Structure 1
């Protein structure tokens, strides 16, 4: 135990020293730590760097479990290598230089073709891939934020070629007409302020669904697909004030444990 503690202290001292080294040299030294990870740990590291900073660790672990990773062991190894930290409220934290390293690794996957990268965390880049329909099966994660005034609307056709999409985060999206799309590989869908005409079909692998502050009601057609999302572990409906009653669907989900959030209440139930 003492030896492990000494190793952790040494790694922390190394990270502090790196702040005094020029950026290029820092990236080279940090890259050595990344290259020493196994494949699953690299994927977890990149997910955090691109999307999950600030997310509750337990919720992220549901997503990685659904992706057939081993998140508990992976997070612990990343923590011991000082590549990730766990905050006081159980949130995932990462030093800015480590975040930048992760994002640069993804950028290097394809310098010219955005649709050949595994993760797109900038709205403009994700929008370019979607609107030009140039996404490929290499795309695993997308982030959109439509909060700034514009005429952009999500189009389902743009997702058609991104058949391995695992992670999708959307803010304030506008949808033209009825948006029905099969997201068969999604493990995480965060669609805050989701409109009534968005209907996500085939959510069989979905583990975490965040629809907070959405405009959906109990008559929303999407409930029919959530009812059969057999891997769903977390559902967040906080701030959905247009829902006058909670749809009855929990009994249909064969879950060992689920978290359900509505308004200011967090309820846990066991099957």
Structure 2
């Protein structure tokens, strides 16, 4: 828990409202801090546009918003409507990068999911 707090918050103690979130993170990583370090490296290696799309997936298309996840084609359609300067091919390339970096996965039903530990 101390390692998580220092690397994520920069101080020795979390505010009371974040303690429960910290405990959930620790449980999701099975208490292994290396999991967080590896995922952090994957995120840090992303380009700006890849980070934006990853954050969109986490915030808008994650299982906390859509319990069953969202179809890849639907996500691409939403981005195509909102991001006029990004082609569908480029968005698919970004999704492939996120998959390669183990930040997301797309199951056999073409549902986008965020990595289990995220």
TM-score range, shorter chain: 0.5 to 0.7
1:95 CA drift (Å): 2.4
Unaligned runs of 5+ in 1: 1-18, 99-271
Asked whether 1:85 is paired with 2:105, we answer yes
Conserved? CA contact 2:103–2:114, under 8 Å: yes
1:21 CA drift (Å): 5.2
Q: Which has the higher contact order (CA 8 A, sep 6+)?
A: 2
1:52 CA drift (Å): 0.7
How many Å separate the matches in 2 of 1:74 and 1:94? 14
The alignment of Structure 1 onto Structure 2 pairs a total of residues equal to: 80
Normalised TM-score (structure 1): 0.27
1:29 CA drift (Å): 2.4
Normalised TM-score (structure 2): 0.58
How many Å separate the matches in 2 of 1:96 and 1:85? 9
Aligned to 1:59: 74
Higher helix residue share: 2
Unaligned runs of 5+ in 2: 1-28, 63-68
How many Å separate the matches in 2 of 1:81 and 1:58? 20
Conserved? CA contact 2:72–2:112, under 8 Å: yes
List structure 1 segments (4+ residues) > 4 angstroms apart after TM superposition.
none
Conserved? CA contact 2:42–2:102, under 8 Å: no
Q: Which of 1 and 2 has greater Rg?
A: 1
1:84 CA drift (Å): 0.9
Aligned to 1:148: none
Higher strand residue share: 1
How many Å separate the matches in 1 of 2:37 and 2:100? 19
1:1-271 equivalent positions in 2, closer than 5 A: 19=29, 22=32, 24-53=33-62, 54-65=69-80, 66-67=82-83, 68-69=85-86, 70-98=90-118
